[in-house]
Amino acid sequence: MVSSTSQTFCRICHAACPVEVEIEENKVISVRGVKEDPLFKGYTCIKGRQIPDQINSQERLRFHLKKTKDGHFEEVSRANGLDEVAKKLEEIIKQYGSGAVASYTGTGGYQSSCALATAEAWHKGIGSHQLYTSVTIDQPAKTTAPMRTGAWGAGIHNFRDSDIFLAVGNNPMVSSYSPLGGLQGTDPFTKMREAKKKGMKLIVIDPRETELASSADIHLQPIPGEDPTLLAGLLNVIFEKSIYDHNFCDEWVEPSTLNSLIKSISRFTPEYVSKRCDVDQGAIIEAALMFANGEKGGAGTGTGPSMAPHSSLTEHLIICLNVICGRYNREGDLVESGNFLYPDSPRLAQVIPAKDPTPGPPSRFRNLRGYRGQMPCSTLADEILEPGEGQIRALIVSGGNPVVAFPDQELTMSALKDLDLLVVLDHRMTATAELADYIFAPRLALERADVPHLMDRWFAAPYTNYTDAVVEAESELIAEWEFFWEIACRMNTPIALSGGELPLDHKPTDDEVIDLVYSEARMPMDQIRENRGIIHAGKEYVVQPADPGCTSKFNLMPDGIQVEIDQVFAEVTGAELWPGFNPAIHTFRLISRRLKDVLNSLGTELPKIAARSTTNYAYMSPDDMKDLKISDDDLIDISSPRSTITGVAKADKTLRRGIVSMAHSWGGTSLTDEKVRDIGTPTSRLTSAREAIDPINGMVVSSAIPVQVQLTKEFSTN
């Protein structure tokens, strides 16, 4: 048998690790990291090493399905399925208007480098603003917070130059993610070792002793949900001791807002913060001094704090820490990431002024508005269920699983069942696909050309990569961009990308679409194609001086922040945001957690991953388990003010007491978890899409959820 090897990169998550794939007669046989790659040096994770199982899986959907009147699925040809979907969409638009058609691009869809851009352009073409993505499920404050304060034109200090780094609820060793200036998922273990060897100090704030925290110089383990209090406490120490960057603040911060911030957080004394967060007072002071006394290096959050109560305030206080300590690249500095796929724009050492964080169309619910061209996911269920102008009747889900990922599982399922048309693009029969009217089977990563469009702006070096399809897909399969193009052809609506409209008279190739999506790339696509896995020495952005007339400054107290700081100070705990919270009952906090072997709902369908675990264990401190007479593998009921899930208990000595730590986006369509040992349970069932939401961006509190924990009755020996 003739075999060949091809170089490509993994697209199971956004990290884009280069891999070498062995192929025999168009079948992927094995995959390994590329040792010669100058940035990743051969790094891959366990998920990426499952690519052969994923692409060859017997369980993979290789044909398209349509739900029959009796609720079963039957195979439908690609052409007929697309014809029927286009016809139904036209009928819906005729009856309700174009705003009745929505789409959701999930984590899976995001990995396809043309999927979201094509979906956005398709929406514009039909005149619907109802576009949703996974960005508004977990970390919207990372978008809205800098818009409220203003941003720095040359970015935060590079991780490679840092002598200090503060990570709040961020565990890049597992998530392969850090905000800009943080430790990226490009060989993170080695990069951290090297940074520590050079003397970098690491402060980690996390209720769990994570893989990152095990390298920390200071690890603070607060009660979950108290991040704003702890961060306000760190700021207060820095102000009290006057060890912030006065020169930077004098030049770039609106003085009245700095003074208001200092005054407002002076209440968060080390004594108060220590008591409320249950963290040693001396350690709080030590962490504040260590951060402020560092020369270079920033602070950043991961998913946990972005899903916890007061997520906008948490992100705001992180920005304040970076601003008052002047942790931004200055004139003459190099910006580590090349940003080659996006338009060339000078990096200026000045403030980009604050602007309206939510300038998009209004939602019909909770006074929320769209931002970054999207609408907030927390309103989607109500937009479907509530009759009247603007009601959504059709939803296209591209590589996502809202049944287990969206907040408020019960409400989400009611909404999905209420639709006139639900179309899902997925290679697996997910919980959401089970509810669909049509399921289209997509081409998988190795079957399409791509660029690392998410990492491009985060790579810790001016690095480019590109891949063509390394195996040929079966002809019926359809890429995400291709689905929208096919529907556009049938509805005769345009798909206008930055480089021009997609032709509707003939089918473009992946590469033609990439060229149109990335037409304004700093490095032309032809050059990127010739520079696969290359670091371009000397191509870093050199930070330019500020415009002489620049007068913009950071606003450290934008509208609403004072109110929220007051609210936090008035609370005993962040859990008070929840109506129905009872401190005598909800004595635990459920926190979200990433796992090495799965990415949200993706992974458990793969045999080697399933052999490790088929459930998202409810991890608890062994001491708590002992007190509650819970043993490993016992079933436990976990109840929030909103609902109950059943989890499988597992002891984890890295956790502080009072916590249940679970991965999200597991489980199925059942609301009673009969199969929890086989498929897990969705923590989203515990959340409410209508209460305890962030007033700016609609983020639902999905971590640090107040819960009661009890041994499931049938297993209780009491």
- Footprint on this chain of ligand SF4 (rule: CB under 6 A): 10, 12-13, 15-17, 44-45, 47-48, 176, 185
Nearer to ligand SF4 (CB atom), residue 186 or residue 640: 186
Question: Residue 524 to residues 326, 342, 521: CA-CA distances in angstroms?
Answer: 34, 10, 6
- Nearest approach in angstroms of CB 145 to ligand SF4 is 26
- Nearest approach in angstroms of CB 171 to ligand SF4 is 13
Nearer to ligand SF4 (CB atom), residue 147 or residue 455: 455
- Nearest approach in angstroms of CB 176 to ligand SF4 is 4
- Nearest approach in angstroms of CB 62 to ligand SF4 is 22
- Does the CA dihedral 393-397-400-403 come out positive or negative? positive
- Nearest approach in angstroms of CB 45 to ligand SF4 is 3
Indicate the SS3 state at residue 206.
Answer: coil
In the structure encoding, which two tokens stand for residue 714, read together?
Answer: 């049938």
- Nearest approach in angstroms of CB 444 to ligand SF4 is 13
- Nearest approach in angstroms of CB 110 to ligand SF4 is 12
Nearer to ligand SF4 (CB atom), residue 176 or residue 697: 176
Nearer to ligand SF4 (CB atom), residue 13 or residue 220: 13
Place of tokens 């409400």: 411
Q: How many helices (H) and strands (E) does the chain have?
A: 26, 28
Exposed, middle or buried: residue 118 (CB in 10 Å: 0-12, 13-18, 19+)?
buried
Nearer to ligand SF4 (CB atom), residue 45 or residue 313: 45
Closest CA to 142 of 319, 347, 344: 319
Question: Residue 248 to residues 152, 332, 354: CA-CA distances in angstroms?
Answer: 12, 16, 18
Nearer to ligand SF4 (CB atom), residue 42 or residue 560: 42
Closest CA to 688 of 417, 409, 413, 432: 409
- Nearest approach in angstroms of CB 462 to ligand SF4 is 20
- Nearest approach in angstroms of CB 175 to ligand SF4 is 9
Nearer to ligand SF4 (CB atom), residue 47 or residue 148: 47
> Which of the 8 DSSP states describes residue 377?
G
Beta bridge partners of 424: 397, 439
C-alpha 144/C-alpha 137 separation (Å) is: 14
Nearer to ligand SF4 (CB atom), residue 186 or residue 314: 186
Nearest residue to ligand SF4 on Cβ basis: 48
Indicate the SS3 state at residue 140.
Answer: coil
Place of tokens 């291709």: 482
Nearer to ligand SF4 (CB atom), residue 45 or residue 395: 45
Could you tell me the end-to-end alpha-carbon distance of the chain, in angstroms, rounded to an integer? Answer: 63
Q: Are 222 and 306 in contact (CB under 8 A)?
A: no
> Which run of H or E residues covers position 635?
strand 635-639
Indicate the SS3 state at residue 88.
Answer: helix
